Amino acid sequence: MQRRSILVTALTVVALAGVILFAYHSRSSKQPLLCQVCGRVVPKQTEFRIETTHGNLIACCPRCAMHYMLDHSNEVRGARATDYASGRLIDAHSAFYDEGGDVQYCTRLAPAVERGPNDGTRLRTYDRCLPVLVAFAARPEAEQYRDEHGGRVLTYDQALQSVGAH
């Protein structure tokens, strides 16, 4: 009888632990992924991953990631961008980028009007994620996106140079 009571108690504890683990996993998987560079929500279409000497970072967009890469060039070991057309991760160095298109991904929730502490409101004058950079595995897809949304098509080196200039 005592064995049965211990077994029932043990099974109850295991079942309860399973329910708690399931609830935690369900809740945590619905949390938005945040950029480890600027803290914004990471849109799936523009996600960018940076391999560093300290581990991997996820950025909200290629421009945000490239700012980080320029500021920490001695730590960067590799980079992967999300191909907008397929949603797959691709080598960032071989990607083509549309810069300056009319769709804002990671900045769409950031208001263009800012409130200063003592000077009322003003238009946002700088945002590390603007102008928008969107990555593509192939030039034709980048050019098609440019035709639909504007901007200009750049190679990785040209995009990095543009980010460094702003």
How does pLDDT run along the chain (166 residues), one tens digit per residue? 677 777 666 566 566 655 566 655 555 556 789 999 999 999 999 999 999 999 999 999 999 999 999 999 999 999 999 999 999 999 999 999 999 999 989 877 665 556 666 666 655 556 889 999 999 999 999 999 999 999 999 999 999 999 999 7
Q: What tokens appear for 53 in the block? A: 């000497």
In terms of Cβ atoms closer than 10 Å to its own Cβ (0-12, 13-18, 19+), residue 123 is exposed
In terms of Cβ atoms closer than 10 Å to its own Cβ (0-12, 13-18, 19+), residue 103 is middle
Task: State the Cα–Cα distance between residues 6 and 73, nearest whole angstrom.
Answer: 59
Contacts of 30 (CB under 8 A, 6+ apart): none
What pLDDT was estimated at residue 143? Answer: 98
| 67 within 8 A of 40, measured Cβ to Cβ | no
Residue with tokens 């108690």: 9
Contacts of 18 (CB under 8 A, 6+ apart): none
The pTM score is: 0.74
What pLDDT was estimated at residue 107? Answer: 78
